[in-house]
Amino acid sequence: MVALQGIFSMIRRLSLCLAVAAVAVAWSGSVASQQAHTSADTAVVLNIDGAIGPASASYVGDGLQSARDSGAKLVILKLDTPGGLDTSMRDIIQDILAMPVPVVTYVHPSGARAASAGTYILYASHVAAMTPGTNLGAATPIQLGGSPEQSEKGNDGKSTAKNAGERKAVNDAVAYIRSLAELRGRNAQWAEAAVREGASLSADAALQQRVVDIVANDTGSLLEILDGRTVAIGGGQQALNTTRMALTEIQPDWTTRLLATITDPNIAMILMMVGVYGLFFEFMNPGTFIPGTVGAISLLLGFYALAILPVDFVGVALILLGLALMAGEAFAPSFGILGIGGLASFVFGAAMLFDTDIPAFQVDWSIIAAMAVFSAGFVIVVARLGVRSQRRAVKTGLQEMMGAHGRVLDWKEGAGHVFVRSERWNAVGPASLQAGDCIAVLSMSGLTLEVVLATTHQGQPPGEDDGYPEQL
């Protein structure tokens, strides 16, 4: 039997290994196929649609590396973003600046925007293009600079940051975007206004003010306009030949999609809560394994997300304190005091967990409310169980023996043996007791009971309630 179990275990492990190998081969085959179809007359197309974060930076970095390895002559980065994290934006810009082939950033489709971080990426690209009906600008670092009402007007009528920290952040952003503008020969004065004053421009106005290079209705028109254009790259000039150039679009792989999912602050918060409650229920009921396994995996994924997102450690501390207080309510019931304090700490911590004003990287209040309701329900259940346990009669220990009824087994000169709670006890009491009398326990000293004659016997007949043997 043991041998069969060992064989089955080996078969399961082998099947798992084969499944993993098949997935890896399929993924590598798709990547190889995708690279094989990318020829020298092909332009690689990447898409950023949404807030710029760690997943976007990973996707763009991998896409640019794939274009470089395959020998593509052009990269088109289609962009529609409200902004994003400064660290992820700088990672994308560094990858663009290191490319040996031209990168064309194209704000597309009509109605899209390249706000905040998107403006920096446009300025960093070898060619900046927009679709009619799009806009760019509003490049103030709001996660550090604050909202407009946090600024004040200077003597020249321009907005200035109030404190030293904000001024440092704004000046750093201005220097960064001006360096990009000077590198690409674009309008540096307007770039500074976009950072200091949050200025924005439409596609046509951006073209007139030398902020972008091309306004094109679609990708086909963009390629026609690019044909024959000369761009500066690698310290020299390169002429673009986009005639009959094929387009190969690179989609995010499963790792990028997973990263995009778990770095969503709402998903990260849910993973953290699932992890904590999973481990909590595992500790409450050891040996179940399912809550503990799911909880450990969720908690590790949540920690990974927190490691790459802009986290406020005060918020993390408040969440941990809240969870500890709610767990303390389960182990040391305080009739809701610890639970309510933990719930308040958790809500405040979740609200300030991510240190950014970008909506896409903040926890939605509906998620906070749902978790607060769940935690409140947990606290209420624990508090009710605590109150109920306090009202129940004691079932074990010394207090449970007080007042218990039993029968005298044998008795002589004020001492003998009694049968109480299905057990035989040494006992002392009145000398008038006789074998078969019903007694009640007054106190207990070690393994000796002090008993008296019970005037009325409450409960079931002997042999059922007091466990008195019918035959001795």
Question: What is the C-alpha to C-alpha distance for residues 175 and 192, in angstroms, rounded to an integer?
Answer: 8
CB 122 within 8 A of CB 204: no
Q: Give pLDDT, residue 279.
A: 84
- If we measure between CA atoms, which residue out of 269, 277, 299, 262 comes closest to residue 363? 269
Q: Give pLDDT, residue 22.
A: 46
Fold of 37-252: 2-enoyl-CoA Hydratase; Chain A, domain 1 (3.90.226)
Question: What is the C-alpha to C-alpha distance for residues 33 and 65, in angstroms, rounded to an integer?
Answer: 15
Residues 6+ apart with CB under 8 A from 348: 315, 318
Task: Please give the single-letter amino acid code of residue 185.
Answer: G
Contacts 24+ apart (CB under 8 A), 302-305: 302/262, 302/268, 302/269, 302/271, 302/272, 302/275, 303/272, 304/262, 305/262, 305/263, 305/265, 305/267, 305/268, 305/271
Give the 3-state secondary structure of residue 424: strand
pLDDT along the chain (472 residues), means of 10: 38 42 45 46 93 92 94 95 92 95 96 94 96 94 47 51 76 95 94 94 96 95 93 88 91 88 88 85 80 89 83 86 80 73 87 75 85 81 73 70 90 93 92 92 90 66 45 40
Architecture of the structural domain at 397-453: Beta Barrel (2.40)
Domain boundaries, the chain: 1-32, 37-252, 263-391, 397-453
Question: What is the C-alpha to C-alpha distance for residues 146 and 169, in angstroms, rounded to an integer?
Answer: 10
What is the value of pTM for the model shown?
0.66
Q: Give pLDDT, residue 81.
A: 94
